[in-house]
Amino acid sequence: MKGFVVITGGTKGIGKALVHRFAKAGYAVITCARNEKDLINLKATIEDNYKSEMYFKVADLSLKSEVQSFSEYVSELTDNVTVLINNTGVFIPGSITDEEEGNLELMMNTNLFSAYYLTRSLIPNMIKNKKGHIFSMSSIAGITAYASGGSYSITKYAMQGFTKCLREELKDKGIKVTAVLPGATLTASWEGVDLPEERFMKSEDVAEAVWSAFQMSDRTVVEEIVLRPQLGDI
């Protein structure tokens, strides 16, 4: 085993592709999701196909108490996390002027606060070990405003600020920080959209970009990864 990688929201879409990519490379993966059956099935698939172990905890990271519970679970397994990928997120389309009440709070809790609290809990050991790589899974919506982005776009702009601050705080401590900003990727968020699969990026391509950034020497960090479908934004 090469080390431990923490990936939140690992059972679907980009998170699932990331779990596969790091497990394939020999890393033990620690992940979480709300659905226990999905986690059990993913663990079986990972351990059947790769010489890697997968650990999981059922958790709803929109709740601070469950973020704390998951971070405690990680700490019980290891004090030496090699990579943290804050991937958990929820996308509810809508405009600020007419979206449902509570959308902002739900997406802030899920998309931003979960990453904030989990990162804060794991950073002390990374600093002590003088190594680690933190990836924030943001979105094109964090750098490009659009009419139906609403609260989702607000949370992703905030995620960019969080990640930039982390980069400045940790650059002299041996810890790398990378923002990942994918455009339209074929995940559950786009279910029901009347567009061909070819119009979207593959989750595996996003995971491969993360893996490539992780492979840089200690002297180099990729600060941002921006990915878009070949034909542009949707």
Alpha-carbon span 104 to 89, nearest angstrom = 13
Given the structure tokens 């990519």, which residue do they identify? Answer: 21
Please say if 157 is a catalytic residue.
no
Q: Which helix (H) or strand (E) holds 157?
A: helix 150-170
In this structure, the chain runs to a length of 234
Judged by phi (left if over 0) then psi (alpha if -120 to 50, else beta), residue 92 lies in beta
Collect contacts of 216-219 with beta carbons under 8 A, ≥24 apart. 216/176, 218/174
Distances (CA, A) of 134 to 16, 131, 193: 17, 10, 32
Q: Which of 27, 50, 55, 152 is catalytic?
A: 152
Active site residues: 152
